[in-house]
Chain A
Amino acid sequence: MDTNKAGEMAIRQKYKEKFMRYFFFLIATVSVVILLMITLFLFMEGLPIFNQVSVNSFIFGKYWYPTSDPADFGIFPLIMGSLTITLLSALMAIPLGVMTAIYLAEMASYRLREIVKPVVELLASLPSVVIGFFGMVIVAPFLQDTFDIATGLNIFNASLMLAFMSVPTICSLSEDAIYSVPVSLKEASLALGATPLDTIVRVTLPASISGISTAVILGMSRAIGETMVVLMVAGGAAMIPTSIFDPARPLPASIAAEMAEAPYRGDHYYALFAIGVVLFVFTFFFNLVADHISNKYRQVGEATL
């Protein structure tokens, strides 16, 4: 009797576990399938534009006049706008983010770290529309008056706002990477007579370079896909920028501004989806690189004997 009951319970347990496994498999599949379907939809709605214009003249065309007659679908100015803004914001955000991370992980007292890190992470939760509004109403007039430029809604302003947004990502992830460098590595370096600065530059940073690179690339991929901020503060001129104080129109801003009024399944509609495809390729590439770096340069195990 007793053994029977125990057996029954074991079987029940087994079914339960089997059920749980399928259940979680199903859940995991759902998100993958949804992602695949969105990608498929994106390509299905974007590709028809290439019946009208060649891929070459779409990517490298210099004029974006989707509604005039005849229309021009050249997104080169938009791509340049996106790349310039992303690069400039990376130039601002990387030193700021990584140095903050080094300070927090290596130099700050435990207490300070416990206060500053959540605050930096909180920055990431600021809605982008708030940052955009800040850039438009406070930063733009300030830039106009200080640098005596025609408009404060420009590449510099947009990059600055995007840097604000990517610093938390970069800082938080880099800090985790630096903090998790094995103490024995640092101790070995210090024991060999290296100064703390040497240790940070020559030992800690190289050991955590994979984590830092991933952080940087994820931060940048957030910046290139960010829509609201660039729509509000980049100015939106669809021309190839010649200075950092020129207005520019990044890819996501174009989609956001024009999609609502584009005639359904018209050329303009297809072109906007094709921009979405280009954007998808960019972020996909960024994530691939991040993945590759984090695998290749991973610090494996402790280097102790």
Chain B
Amino acid sequence: MPKITIDSTEIEVEKGTTVIQAAEQIGIDIPRYCYHPGLSIVGVCRICLVEIERMPKLQVACYTPVADGMVVHTNNEKVQQARRAVLEFLLINHPLDCPVCDQAGECWLQNFYMQHGLYDSKMVEDKVKKQKALPIGPNVMLDSERCILCTRCVRFCDEITETHELGIFNRGDHTELLPYPGQELDNKYSGNTIDICPVGALTDKDFRFRTRVWYLTETPSVCPGCSTGCNINVHHNDHRPYKAGGIRVSRLKPRYNPDVNQWWMCDEGRYGFTQVDADSRIVAPQKKTRGDWQLLSWQDAIDEIATKIKGILKKHGADAFGVILSPQMTNEGLFAAKRFFQETLEVENIDFEVVAREKGYADDFLMKADKNPNSEGAKKIGLSAVDNSGLEVAQMLADAKDNRLKALYICHHNLEKGFKKEEVKEALSKVDLVIFQGTNQNSTSNLANYCLPSASFVEKDGTFTNFAGRVQEIHKAVEPLGESKPDWTIFRNLSKRLGKSMPYFEAGDVFNALAEEVDAFKGLSYEKIGEHGVLLNGHRASTEKEMGALVA
């Protein structure tokens, strides 16, 4: 193992490590544009030049492998001068439109210029004009003038998605990044090019001009879009509510997790947060009286629902009560539901799986056909019909049609995704009490007697279990909209009203109780999960298995 000295700190690193990676290990940040740990190394931007003793010229840190006895200086006068020169070179044709550029505030050119450059421009010549505001795909807007030709996006399309849409054209100062003729940047992961673009050349059509990045607050979370459970940061706008029509969540960005999604996420998940601030959100408990929805207070809603549930259980018994939970719910919500329905109400007809009629898109990289983030968790907690020897969802609907089911508690599901519209309508119309609990209205909620608002994934703490059995935390980024509450809180309150209280005060309490009770979760605790999640018992930590084989 070679031993090298970086800025008078000695470190022993693996053979084949480059200088920039070695420096990172001891916390020295060398500026970089073209280098990205997830992509191949090309060494074109030259900003990472460092001085290596006994080498005649400055070397690019990203491309130089370490050798035993190497002495590296990353911040001396010579290096600084070189960086200033590179910055000056990059800024020759870079337009000064930071005021209108969405990248401003998270732009690496801006940042390094403020750290190293700070000179006045010596150029008197006009800047080269290139194409501005050019849509090159459904999600991506290109501004060629701003591009510093680091080729990160080109390499991403070549190496990660292998779709080869982008290329570098022309020569000299007319060199330009463009899609190949007749092609669009429309692969399922195109949003990642925006993330990795160090400048404002590629911007997000969806996020464009909505707000400014320095108004946003980041909260680590997990994408609820499919069972992969990509780690994300939720960027939310807490202090300027008048921006973009009051949308609280501005965008989602992937968060590095070496075991799940590395640096990437798919476009489906990236733009799939719109329901959080949609008009269809249920903001208060409501009851349908003669076809009209009527708002209730939580107190009244829980009182009424509890009374009706009690009545039905007394009159028709537990067999006439069906519960359809949802893999959209967190482990906490599912566990509280399990305790409420199994222990408080002693109901057996519990199921969570509604198999979608249209199979979701899946590939061998990040996207999974199962579009629910917690199916594995629901299975492990034991909520499928088989575990409870109760009815499956399809049987519940069939029973309902035959008037044998008197009450149905549906969480989050849009049943029309799994069953025919008429079937659902006919079945639900024959059930006396249909309670829908969810974040947004859908065609199922419209058929219910009661609607209870539950908090969306950015409004609560909790955990999801991904397809590989990895338990990952989501965090509360914004306050629950209106009167909505996390699912587990609703079940806790209902349970208390019906005579059995649960001593849970925050999501961690529920998870710790879950870890004590459910075998698969034994030994875990909420505090132990950490930013990258932990695997359930009996699951092998294997990047390859979780990720598929596509990672370069």
A and B bound? no
Tell me the A residues contacting B by CB distance below 8 Å. Answer: none
Give B contacts to A, CB under 8 Å: none
